[in-house]
Chain A
Amino acid sequence: MDITDFYDTFFEEAEELLADMERLLLDLDVDDPDPEQLNAIFRAAHSIKGGAGTFGFEALQRTTHLLENLLDYARCGELKLRRDLVDVFLETKDMLNEQLAAYRQSQEPDPEALERICRVLQQLALEEIGKGSVDIADAAPAPVESTTAVDTAAPAEASGRYCVALLNVEAKDRGLLIEELAHLGTVERQSGDETRYEVVLASSLRSDDIEAVMCFIAEPDQLQITPMAASEPVAARAAQHAAPEPAPASSDTARTAPEKAARPATGAGESASIRVPVAKVDQIINLVGELVITQSMLDQVAEDTQGAQAGKLSSGLSLLARTARDLQEAVMSVRMVPMDYVFSRFPRLVRDLASKLGKDVELITEGKSTELDKGLTERIIDPLTHLVRNSLDHGIETPAQREAAGKSRTGNLLLSAQHQGGSILIEVGDDGGGLNREKILAKAAANGLNVSENMSDEDVWQLIFAPGFSTAAEVSDVSGRGVGMDVVKRNIEAMGGHVEIDSSPGQGTTTRIVLPLTLAILDGMSVRVGDETFVLPVSGVIESLQPKPEDLYPMVGEDLLLKVREDYLPMIAVHTAMDISGAEQDPTRAIAVIVQGQGRRYALQVDELVGQQQVVVKNLETNYRKVPGVSAATILGDGSVALIVDIADMYRLHQSKKSRAAHGAAPSYSSTNSISDFGAPAQPRRVH
């Protein structure tokens, strides 16, 4: 086993610690900091430093070391916290994230950035702690030399004395430990036996540093370190901190007793949970899906069974069915994570942006515990970030403007999440100026969109989702480039959700995102075409009908338009798009399913509607590749595979087939190239 095997664990741990650190820093009351919080922040930095030292990530170790020193001064009250100091800490934390990311990709972090942040931190230490302390710049730790450096550099008079008790340490290990202790200071006295062997050590190091070093050799519970001297003068403390600290153990076991007692109060996040790779969970979901299929197969057998055993069999099977269903629900819930995972990254963003824009904004989050599929939480972050930025930039006014409008100087930004049936509703709301109807209409007209003064508010708000649409007078650092809202909409629709806007002038804007709870299960409508069965996502199906001859309008080429009430919709036959033989050719004897995907609405011609059911979504690309017009596959009750239609992609497939037929040549189908077809809406879109 190689040390690199532990890298991933360290990276994950460090990322969590950094996230904790950020949360704590943001929560910190600058004027009256909670010592517990400061301790927790310090411990986070300390643990990362320890790990970084163990794995030889020098840049990371050096930065955390400097940060840790400052934090240490802060927690013992020698450093008065200010808002700008917290900003520096946050900046350092971002830098640490970057360094971590670099190491994760086996690269060295940017040396210039490292020098810069180190300089800032050293400068800060010099300015804030005063001249009494030793120049920290000289003390950048070099882990390899650290122990010898202590031997020579640590002044004897600055030493504290510790009684280090070794509990249940075997004699042969004891020698090693004492040898190690001798590196850390001067061993003045030693006595005892195997159960308790006491060493009096004079050392300039702090007890937890000693413990950290010893942890490489002994178990933490084998050590007991008690300071013997009274508290040392402040000057000596500063000198101690300036002295390089040896790399402590990677884990946070390196704690002395009093700190241990303080721990549980801050360890709210340390619930009884285990870290499991998503692949393992997916495997269980697969197997449970199989179980459900097998069970429904047995059901069919039981129906045909006659005789005395039939009753027993069917009652047993219904029990099995119930358990299987419960099991499926339970397994699905494993994939669910609370929205806090998403929301927790916004306080920082809002804080930074608000101060950049000179606005006062309070962020309120509701429904943090609402659960959503892990895969979706990751994909919702970008769209949400965009909406939050928009609200801050365009929505919430400056304090002066707000005051003039008779509102409180501080703007409110609300992030909320709640369950609504089988979906989750996520809202981003602000109490800012609201959308400007006239401006949007004017801009839309200038962009060549088809608009009229009589459009309903809802339709007007939808216009801002058109590509290249931005009403911001000037492009700012934050937003206004006009890329974005269309991407937001597309991303959300790709997740099977939709987005709508509610806005009133002077009162604010609320964006509502409705998403399915999971991508692993889909409400599907099965349809038959020829001998084949396809599944349409119910979320994309609007209605189905049998076309009447008078409603069908043949167009140039082989296109067919279907009149549904006032709309003329293109009709696409699944059997031509998917080359299915034996399907119903006559549209008037087939079924037209009106579908909508990515803003495009059209009619799909199928032979027959089979039924509606929840299906387990299976990725086709795991073992195969992307199939045009198809988003995934599922397994039907009889064990066979059915393809799930990607409504938007089916339209693209149809278009590309048509153009191929028209040009004679065969431009290969590519879903990425033809996305632009989707840009310009041909007609005002209606939200369902």
Chain B
Amino acid sequence: MNQVNASAKKTRIEVRDREFLVFSLGEEEYAIDILKVQEIRGYDNVTRIANAPEFIKGVTNLRGVIVPIVDLRIKFRLSKAIYDGQTVVIVVNIAGRVVGIVVDRVSDVMTLNDEQIKPAPEFGVNLPLDYISGLGSLDKRMLVLVDIEKLLTSQEMALVAEAGE
């Protein structure tokens, strides 16, 4: 009995299942840890912020909370930034902050285990490698797993005031 438990536990550690929210930027499919996602909403009513980088679309009102909206498509020149009925904002919770990211489309939620996650190659993706935690392969699909927390808190995103400023 004990042995069975132990081995079950062991397997769980070896192949940990994690859930990812899959979205697309242009032709590529990306995925982020679903635990970071707060909600998904449409893109509308964004107030522009002057003197901010182009990819920061502005701020919006999320039930009384002012949330900045970032367009990753502009930041990484991934696809044409078109705002239509399909354009979605994924609201993520990172480092105690709420940030909305604009994506072309949200497709589904996928479960990947550790065996399905491969290390990221040195080339072949449009995002800087620093922010990629791996590649997920599922049947014939390839998902780029983005470390959204690292990406959004990075200096180049200019979302967080630099120390001393």
Hey, which bits of chain A sit against chain B, CB under 8 A? 286-287, 289-290, 532, 577-580, 618-630, 633, 635, 639-643, 653, 669-670, 672
Contact = CB atoms under 8 A, between A and B. Distances in A.
B127 to A, nearest CB: 22
B51 A579 contact: yes
B46 to A, nearest CB: 8
B110 to A, nearest CB: 28
A289 B63 CA distance: 9
B45 A628 contact: no
Could you say which of B63, B68, B97 has the most chain A C-beta atoms within 10 Å of its C-beta? Answer: B63
Interface residues of B, number: 25
A633 B62 CA distance: 13
B145 interface: no
B135 to A, nearest CB: 30
Nearest to B60: A641
Nearest to A669: B51
B50 A580 contact: yes
Nearest to A653: B51
Given A620-B59, A623-B66, A623-B67, A670 B165 contact: yes
A287 B50 contact: no
B49 interface: yes
Contacts of B65: 286, 618, 622-623
Interface string B92-104: 0000011100000
A290 B47 contact: no
Contacts of A672: 165
Interface string B49-62: 11110000011110
A60 to B, nearest CB: 32
B161 A633 contact: no
Interface in B123-165: 158-161, 165
A363 to B, nearest CB: 40
B41 interface: no
B66 A627 contact: no
A620 B50 contact: no
Interface of B: 45, 47-52, 58-61, 63-68, 97-99, 158-161, 165
22 contacts: A286-B63, A286-B64, A286-B65, A287-B64, A532-B48, A577-B50, A578-B50, A618-B65, A618-B66, A622-B65, A622-B66, A623-B67, A623-B68, A623-B99, A624-B59, A633-B59, A641-B47, A641-B60, A642-B47, A653-B51, A669-B51, A670-B165
Residues of A contacting B: mostly? loop
A138 B73 CA distance: 73
Given A622-B97, A627-B49, A627-B51, A290 B67 contact: no
Contacts of A287: 63-64
A639 B66 CA distance: 11
A51 B63 CA distance: 42
B47 A578 contact: no
A670 B164 CA distance: 10
Contacts of B50: 577-580, 627-629
Contacts of A286: 63-65
Contacts of B159: 624-625
Contacts of A670: 165
Could you say which of B47, B60, B97 has the most chain A C-beta atoms within 10 Å of its C-beta? Answer: B47
Could you say which of B45, B48, B64 has the most chain A C-beta atoms within 10 Å of its C-beta? Answer: B64
B54 to A, nearest CB: 11
Could you say which of A532, A623, A640 has the most chain B C-beta atoms within 10 Å of its C-beta? Answer: A623
A643 B158 CA distance: 19
A667 B93 CA distance: 33
Contacts of A628: 50-51
B133 to A, nearest CB: 23
B75 to A, nearest CB: 16
Given A578-B50, A625-B159, A639 B68 contact: no
Nearest to A635: B61
